[in-house]
Structure 1
Amino acid sequence: MSWSPEAPYNDLPPIPPAQNLETVSVLKKLVTARAELSGLNEALVSLPNPSVFVNSLALLEAQASSEIENIVTTTDELFRADTHRADASAATREALRYKIALFHGQERMRQRADLMTVGMAKEICSEIRGTETDIRQGEGTYIGNPVTGRRIYTPPVGRQVIEEKLQNWEQFMNAATDLDPLVQMAVAHYQFEAIHPFDDGNGRTGRVINGLMLVAKELLREPILYVSQYIIQHKNEYYRLLNAVTKSGAWEKWIIYMLHAVEATARSTRLKIKAIQQLQEQFAEQLLADIGPHYPVALSDVLFEQPYCRVRDVVDGCGVSRPTAVKYLSALADAGMLAVQRAGRENLYINARFMHILRSPDADLSADS
């Protein structure tokens, strides 16, 4: 049966496809992608407290991945809402659920000895959507052209059909295969998007799984490789190449696209970590000058978990009294290291230079390559 965008693709072939996926061009791109990924992991492992960076980087991915689905919020809105949710917009709250889903998936993966399962995908999608999610029922789901609305792809229908294809996807995700893990990730990502198992949240769920898979394959210590910003910048190409795999089995170009995304994102994230480390050193010097040598070491961690900080974050994170926490934050604000913004009945202390690094393109961070 030939594929048609108008008809449910119940004949979606199982993975892996019966063709050579690691062509010469793919292998060449694998060399540079793996090198950047290894550099990122080394930068992460060298950090005394990697978890300090994970929260902020997860929020960046939450924003970008949501934007792909036209759920738009700003970086400032998202970071502010992560600290003070009272005035968060619906789009911002939805983007925040992406971060919760990522951390939930990471914890579930650890509990299941690094296995990626259909059940985990359901849980991740449920967290993203904020409602219990199961395999979609009935027909009517399709992918349309965002400009014309014309149907460009109709995923499989029928619970049994979808479940069978998901079982094949799960087996491939956890298989002992000779394929490079990055190639395996690219193939699995296409298949998940093509199955489109849920009524909503498929794209975001698939992108959470990408990061978790790299941890499961021991390529990264933490799921901090977030390709969504790259996809936003090359969104038309992303959908064109997904469709080309469906129409003509054009796996090579799709895999190379995903390897480009890994390479560019790993490099960008490594540069951000380097710039953040340098800023942390400047903060340490300022703390020493303003507070003295006896400030809690955990204070730096609190200030770099994300750009917005409350007094009680310092109280909880450093084990100090509220007056002491206020003294620390006020000293940094007086020195120009933190900005102050009123939120209801409390102050938010903003690490503006940290925020700048998180938002900045590579060229604004470092000439290092």
Structure 2
Amino acid sequence: MGNPGGTLSLPVTPLGYEDHTWIAESDGMSSRAALAAGSGPYRSAVVPPISQLSVHLDGSMSADSEEAVAALASFDRYASSRLGSQSTTLGPMSAVLLRTESTSSSQIENLTVGARQLALAELDQSTSDNARVVVANVRAMEAALRLADALDLNAILTMHAELMAGQRGWEVHAGRLRERLVWVGRSAVSPRGASFIAPQPELVPAALADLTEFMRRDDLPVLVQTAIAHAQFETIHPFVDGNGRTGRALVHALLRAKNILTQTTAPVSAGLLRRTESYFEALTAYRSGDAAPIVAEFAGAARFAARTGEDLVDSLEDQLDAARRSMSSLRPQAAAWRVLPHLVAHPVINAHLVSRLLGTSGTTAQRALAQLTEAGVLSERSGLKRNRVWQHGGILGILDTYAAELTRR
């Protein structure tokens, strides 16, 4: 509905609060004065239930959200038609789009990694801790899509377990609801003065049960339901760490469950990454009782994902077309042809991975890599005699350019 100022709003019940007292404990770095200031009363959030939420959209908000969902569905169809529904490239293309989405979701949390390091991490040959963390985010996204038909507490815990398994020092928290208070603020020893103090841990299970009931509803506009579910999840903040990335994986689980994206993954987080400040402000507005900003952020991100996703699919397919021309002298039965589609998802590759992907011998894998190198499709950049890796520079360049442009758009 609209308000007198002409700005759209979508009222939801604002957060409640409850009063508690905090006793700050020394972390070995804080002064006595800081500990004293950190001790005292504070107010933590109480999340209102949304399972029975009534949603009444302004006409323009309804049209905007419907157009955004239509754009995502159109992108899904485009990827399938551009590549062919039976194409061996469609699966790898879906995989690289999922990795692009995972990279963007991680970058919102200031976890940045280049395409080459991410690909090396998938081969367990990266020296980048961030790359390993982003690979774990990929696994969380994969779990979200795999479990989309049963979005319950176990599915959420599985997504989080996959995510945190790749984050050193946090494995003990993987797939486990938090048992302590968490907050968003600068102090590590006290919630006092924090910008957001999440609900007490004993309130989390019931809040998640309510959220999963809300996600099962089929009487709501999909984008509105997705945006509200995401905002509610981030407000519950059910984990010690990884809430943002798990919550954005949940977005894709819902889009798959609602049959919007059935063939591939759209880079929705890439759209959010363009406007991280607005995204976080929208979450704050939701907690204050207005869901319109978060719906608008997701609508804009969805349109961005659909438009740039098509460009990304086209650019990557153009690279494969160029490779096919370079390989024209190879006989049709050559193993290199079977490797080619996989280069989209694996622009850095080794013989072991080729052997696994094709279900073939190491000798055949080496021969395929040699054929691709001779054709100028791949180059061997490690310079090693053992643990050699080959890469497709064009695909890596496209992925890095796409990521770099997100913060400049």
**TM-score interval w.r.t. the shorter chain?**
0.7 to 0.9
Equivalent pair of 1:9/1:155 in contact (CA under 8 Å) = yes
Query: Which of 338, 342, 346 matches 1:306?
Result: 346
Match of 1:35 in 2: 70
Sort the Cα spacing of 1:18 and 1:325 in 2 relative to 1 into closer, same or farther, 3 A. closer
Query: Counterpart of 2:209 in structure 1: which amino acid?
Result: Q
Partner secondary structure for residue 101 of structure 1: helix
Query: Counterpart of 1:8 in structure 2: which amino acid?
Result: S
Query: Which of 154, 167, 178 matches 2:197?
Result: 154
Sort the Cα spacing of 1:87 and 1:52 in 2 relative to 1 into closer, same or farther, 3 A. closer
The range that moved more, 206-215 or 221-230, is 221-230
Query: Counterpart of 1:261 in structure 2: which amino acid?
Result: A
Alpha-carbon shift at residue 257 of structure 1 (Å): 1.1
Partner secondary structure for residue 115 of structure 1: coil
The question of 1:264 aligning with 2:304 is answered yes
Q: Distance in 2 between matches of 1:66 and 1:318?
A: 30
The range that moved more, 335-344 or 31-40, is 335-344
Sort the Cα spacing of 1:257 and 1:88 in 2 relative to 1 into closer, same or farther, 3 A. same
The question of 1:86 aligning with 2:125 is answered yes
Match of 1:193 in 2: 234
Match of 2:44 in 1: 8
Match of 1:70 in 2: 110
Equivalent pair of 1:23/1:252 in contact (CA under 8 Å) = no
Q: Distance in 1 between matches of 2:201 and 2:216?
A: 25
Query: Which of 264, 275, 285 matches 1:234?
Result: 275
Q: Distance in 2 between matches of 1:18 and 1:103?
A: 29
Alpha-carbon shift at residue 2 of structure 1 (Å): 7.5
Query: Which of 167, 171, 192 matches 2:209?
Result: 167
Task: Output one character per residue of 1:153-174: Cα deviation in whole Å (capped at 9) or x when no partner.
Answer: 1111142x22111111000001
Alpha-carbon shift at residue 218 of structure 1 (Å): 0.7
The range that moved more, 25-34 or 348-357, is 25-34
Alpha-carbon shift at residue 302 of structure 1 (Å): 2.7
Q: Distance in 2 between matches of 1:105 and 1:29?
A: 26
Q: Distance in 2 between matches of 1:227 and 1:150?
A: 32
Partner secondary structure for residue 151 of structure 1: coil
Query: Alignment RMSD, CA only?
Result: 2.7
Match of 1:244 in 2: 285
TM (normalized to structure 2)? 0.78
Please show how residues 109-124 of structure 1 align to structure 2 within 5 Å.
109=148, 114-124=149-159
Query: Counterpart of 2:357 in structure 1: which amino acid?
Result: G
Query: Which of 195, 202, 205 matches 2:243?
Result: 202
Partner secondary structure for residue 295 of structure 2: helix
Sort the Cα spacing of 1:263 and 1:288 in 2 relative to 1 into closer, same or farther, 3 A. same
In structure 1, runs of 5+ residues without a counterpart are: 365-369
Sort the Cα spacing of 1:194 and 1:319 in 2 relative to 1 into closer, same or farther, 3 A. closer
Sort the Cα spacing of 1:171 and 1:321 in 2 relative to 1 into closer, same or farther, 3 A. closer
Equivalent pair of 2:355/2:361 in contact (CA under 8 Å) = yes
Sort the Cα spacing of 1:2 and 1:286 in 2 relative to 1 into closer, same or farther, 3 A. closer
Sort the Cα spacing of 1:337 and 1:103 in 2 relative to 1 into closer, same or farther, 3 A. same
The question of 1:22 aligning with 2:71 is answered no
In structure 2, runs of 5+ residues without a counterpart are: 1-13, 19-41, 166-170
Alpha-carbon shift at residue 363 of structure 1 (Å): 12
Match of 2:176 in 1: 134
Could you tell me the percent identity over the aligned residues? 23
Equivalent pair of 2:92/2:341 in contact (CA under 8 Å) = yes
